[in-house]
Homo-oligomer: A and B are copies of this chain.
Amino acid sequence: MRNALKIGELAKHTGCDVATIRYYEQAGLLPKPARSDGNFRLYGDSQVERLALIRRCRSLDMTLLEIRTLLRFCDAPERNCGDVNALLEEHISHVADRIAELRRLEKELKNLRRLCQDTQAAKHCGILEGLSKGAAGSRRRKALVGHVHRAHAPRRKAKSA
């Protein structure tokens, strides 16, 4: 194999963490690579491209499941454009839904904040009041209380490259 990269080099090329690369391998997104005499992973150009594609899809917030599906299309000899298109469509609608939901949320939160500014001088906090009453200054609260899909992931600190 010409131009073989060790995992750390591949990581630098793609801006992907070393541990994440190993994780993708284990998750079946990257094929098991060749190994050096000392059992180090060795990657060729096609793996670099494949990983770049994966990272790009992740940056578009696709799940690994979606990406796995996409890669199957890629690997198929006759690429089926329709399937890819459908996958993308569905992902776009996920994103649009989430945006709409967050906008509702933002509005409610701002209502809540106003409650506090209004009664800043008072003995008890308007926000806490608003939260326990559950109204937050609006009438239509039911929609949010139910089983709306939500992102529950932690907000992590950005780590500088």
B-side contacts of A94, CB under 8 Å: 155
This protein's copies in its complex? 2
Question: For residues 44 through 88 of chain A, which have their beta carbon under 8 Å from a beta carbon of chain B?
Answer: 49, 52-53, 55-57, 59-61, 63, 70, 73-74, 79, 81, 84-85, 88
A150–B61 CB distance below 8 A: yes
Interface residues of A: mostly helix, strand, loop or mixed?
A: helix
> A3-11, A25-33, A108-116: which one contacts chain B?
A108-116
B-side contacts of A156, CB under 8 Å: 149
B99–A134 CB distance below 8 A: no
Report the count of interface residues on A (CB-CB < 8 A): 64
B116–A92 CB distance below 8 A: no
Chain B CB within 8 A of A144 CB: yes
A84 with B125: in contact, given A57-B131, A106-B99 (CB under 8 Å)?
A: yes
Chain B CB within 8 A of A12 CB: no
A99 with B92: in contact, given A125-B84, A145-B56, A149-B158 (CB under 8 Å)?
A: no
A109 with B81: in contact, given A15-B145, A56-B145, A155-B94 (CB under 8 Å)?
A: no
